[in-house]
């Protein structure tokens, strides 16, 4: 082919979705790479995101062949603090993906944990699965154990169930309960559905509390359990299939190899 084109009756995946399902990058990052002219289909630069990949096509990025998507796989990882959840860190800090590159194929994270947060991080080789499980409409609860410093007001915690606005940002309802208190330090369990960037830290600061430790213990049906710090364990395909949302969000493509009958 001398140039890429959009078929009148397209088959296969749009190229950004294909790259996401191959675990190369998120669909947004894939679209950025396409715009930068880094992606080729059958040796021709892809110029339009509505280009489709069909069986037998060759897709390359920077001259490297993109392997056809494998079956969908999911891993539980006990992220320690001190790692950032990004493929490229402009500050040169250690990343989750650098740490695991010799243990796993190319993967992306489902949601993120910041540098000083720890606990359960889900990793997958399928961008479509990541997109589905990150969406608030999926309804999966993220649960955390949080240690704070300061004077905890149980009424203020209970009021979070109605949602809260912090610095002009409206956060959805949060379930926060006090578990133990010793002096000016306290442990609580916090559950939320959206998981915006640094949401718990910002909301707690709004209540006059400083978060000194934040551990994610569950993401939807998947638990941290006894997985040791730095440990990684693949979720069996049968278990993953059973836990997928029965009704995918409108327009969401089912993860490869995990379509429900």
Query: Looking at the domain assignment, is residue 166 inside a domain?
Result: yes
Tell me if residue 179 is catalytic.
Answer: no
Same domain flag for 162 and 119: no
Question: Above 80 in pLDDT, residue 5?
Answer: no
Same domain flag for 203 and 169: yes
pLDDT at 129: 87
Asked whether the whole model's pTM tops 0.85, one would answer no
Question: Above 90 in pLDDT, residue 162?
Answer: yes
Question: Above 50 in pLDDT, residue 38?
Answer: yes
Residue with tokens 């392997």, as numbered in its chain: 67
Query: Looking at the domain assignment, is residue 91 inside a domain?
Result: yes
Instruction: Quote the tokens at residue 231.
Output: 């440990």
The tally of domains found in the chain comes to 3
Same domain flag for 225 and 132: yes
Lowest model confidence (mean pLDDT) among 95-99, 113-117, 186-190, 245-249: 245-249
Confidence of residue 11 (pLDDT cuts 50, 70, 90): low
Q: What's the mean pLDDT in 138-149? A: 94
Which residue range forms the structural domain that includes residue 96?
74-137+221-243
Same domain flag for 19 and 38: yes
Confidence of residue 139 (pLDDT cuts 50, 70, 90): confident
What percent of the chain shows pLDDT beyond 90?
A: 60
Same domain flag for 156 and 203: yes
Confidence of residue 160 (pLDDT cuts 50, 70, 90): very high
Question: Above 70 in pLDDT, residue 255?
Answer: no
Same domain flag for 147 and 132: no
Query: Looking at the domain assignment, is residue 255 inside a domain?
Result: no
Catalytic residue among 114, 126, 151, 175: 114
CATH number of the domain to which 47 belongs: 3.10.290.10
């Amino acid at each position: 082919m001398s140039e890429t084109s959009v078929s009148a009756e397209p088959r296969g995946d749009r190229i950004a979705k294909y790259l996401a399902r191959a675990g190369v990058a998120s669909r947004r990052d894939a679209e950025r790479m396409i715009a930068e002219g880094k992606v080729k289909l059958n040796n021709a630069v892809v110029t339009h995101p509505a280009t489709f990949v069909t069986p037998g096509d060759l897709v390359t990025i920077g001259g490297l062949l993109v392997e056809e998507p494998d079956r969908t796989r999911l891993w539980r990882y006990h992220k320690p603090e001190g790692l950032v959840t990004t493929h490229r860190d402009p500050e040169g800090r250690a990343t989750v993906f650098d740490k695991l590159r010799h243990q796993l194929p190319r993967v992306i994270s489902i949601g993120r944990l910041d540098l000083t947060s720890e606990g359960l991080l889900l990793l997958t080789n399928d961008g479509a699965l990541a997109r589905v499980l990150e969406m608030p409409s999926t309804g999966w609860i993220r649960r955390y154990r949080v240690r704070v410093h300061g004077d905890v007001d149980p009424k203020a915690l209970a009021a979070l169930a109605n949602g809260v606005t912090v610095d002009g940002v409206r956060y959805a309802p949060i379930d926060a309960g006090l578990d133990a208190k010793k002096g000016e330090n306290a442990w609580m369990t916090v559950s939320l559905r959206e998981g915006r960037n640094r949401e718990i830290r910002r909301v707690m600061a709004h209540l006059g509390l400083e978060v000194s430790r934040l551990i994610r213990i569950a993401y939807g049906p998947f638990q941290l359990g006894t997985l040791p710090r730095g440990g990684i364990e693949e979720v069996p395909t049968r278990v993953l299939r059973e836990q997928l949302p029965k009704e995918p969000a409108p327009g969401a493509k089912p993860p490869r190899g995990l379509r429900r009958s």
